[in-house]
Structure formats: C-alpha cells, structure tokens
C-alpha cells in the first residue's frame, strides 16, 4: 500500500513523476496488502520480456511491511523471514532474466512501525497489534543483505527514518507513510535515481524552440 498509494496527493511516486515529466513515465504497480509470496508469482505479468530492458531505466521493489506481520495474529499476510529474502532474490533474478540488470534495481526496506499508533488502528477493527517494529527491522536487515548479495542498490528506510528519534511524523497511522514520510522517501530515492535519470533527454523540444513557420521540421 505504501507503493500503491504513492500517486495520491503529496505521494512519493507523484513527486518522482513530476521530476521526470517529459523524460520518462513512472509506472505504479503497487498492490495494497500484497506480500513477496504473491508478488513473486505475478511479477512476470507486470514486467514482460517485450516491455522490459530497452524501455526500463529503473525498477524499485518495496516489500516487507506485510511480510513481517506476526504469524499468529496475521497469518494471511505473514511470510517467514527466510522465505521473504528468497522471494526478493527470486524477483531480482526474474528481472535479470528479462535483461533488467542489477544496477537498475533498487530495493526499499519497509519503514519502521510506530506501534502505539498502529495498535489504535488494530483495536478499532477489533484486532490485536499484529506487527512489531523489532520484527519489521529484521525484515529490513534481510532486505539490505539481499541487496548486498545480489549487487543491487538499497534504500534502508527502516534505519534512515529512525535516525530521527521521533519517527512517528513520517507515518500517518503508524504503518503507512504521512506527507512528511512520502517527502522523505521521494528525496532519498531521488538521490539514488538522479545519476541514472538526470541525463535522460527531454521528450520533444521546448515550445519556444519549435519553428512555428515549419513545425514539422521541429517535431517530426
């Protein structure tokens, strides 16, 4: 959901799309509530050989908040830690099989969990607190290790957000990103994408550069 909702107002995906307008399209394939077990299965439907290598400049993989749900309280979304890491590696291997090289892949760890705020959300639904920040941190560490093992870039959101002792302002409900959290993620991700994407040429000339007496010469 942190990915699916990224195109909402002030979302991190929308921010990146604005920075890259007329350079490339930012495609949102976030699926709220999904975990790596499900994502691994559907990835070949989302990115195929025919649409991959030449037209793809970067791919982000952002999972862990659902996988790290506590097994006894949220068995539907929970994925064991070792399987989570294996699933991430499987997705990277698939992307490489369609010629998206590891230097174009960025893993994003789950953000930290603010337990008190998320517990309120759970209690409002008649449920117990179904996630723990320490557990989420184990999944974040596994994500970082997968990136090291596979040679991809990684954005360790869990660690970076907690450098500020009170990280609750980055989260809207203890789990999902707030406006400030979206802005933080956009800035951190752009610092990793800028070198890859800043040199992309603009699509079509600036309007003042179009020859109005002979637009075909400028536009075709």
| Active site residue ranges | 1, 173, 176
Nearest to 35 by CA among 66, 3, 69, 1: 66
| Rounded CA separation 178/193 (Å) | 22
Q: How far is CA 190 from CA 15, 94, 158, 183, in A?
A: 10, 24, 17, 10
Tokens coding 94: 């698939």
- Side-chain half-sphere exposure of 132, counting CA atoms within 13 A: 7
Tokens coding 175: 């789990």
Tokens coding 103: 């230097």
Nearest to 105 by CA among 147, 135, 51: 147
């Amino acid at each position: 959901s942190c990915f699916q909702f990224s195109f909402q107002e002030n979302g991190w995906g929308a921010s990146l799309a604005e920075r890259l307008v007329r350079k490339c399209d930012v495609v949102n394939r976030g699926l709220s509530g999904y975990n790596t077990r499900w994502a691994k299965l559907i990835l070949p439907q989302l990115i195929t050989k025919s649409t991959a290598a030449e037209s793809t400049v970067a791919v982000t993989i952002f999972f862990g908040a659902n996988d790290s749900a506590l097994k006894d309280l949220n068995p539907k979304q929970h994925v064991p830690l070792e399987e989570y890491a294996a699933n991430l590696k499987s997705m990277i291997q698939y992307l490489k099989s369609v010629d998206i090289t590891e230097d174009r892949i960025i893993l994003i760890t789950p953000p930290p969990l603010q337990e008190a705020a998320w517990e309120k959300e759970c209690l409002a639904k008649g449920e117990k607190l179904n996630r723990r920040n320490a557990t989420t941190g184990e999944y974040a560490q596994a994500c970082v290790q997968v990136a090291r093992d596979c040679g991809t870039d990684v954005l360790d959101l869990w660690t970076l957000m907690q450098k500020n002792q009170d990280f609750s302002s980055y989260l809207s409900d203890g789990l999902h990103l707030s406006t400030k959290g979206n802005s933080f993620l956009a800035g951190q991700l752009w610092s990793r994408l800028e070198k890859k994407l800043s040199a992309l040429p603009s699509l079509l000339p600036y309007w003042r550069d179009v020859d109005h007496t002979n637009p075909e010469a400028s536009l075709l």
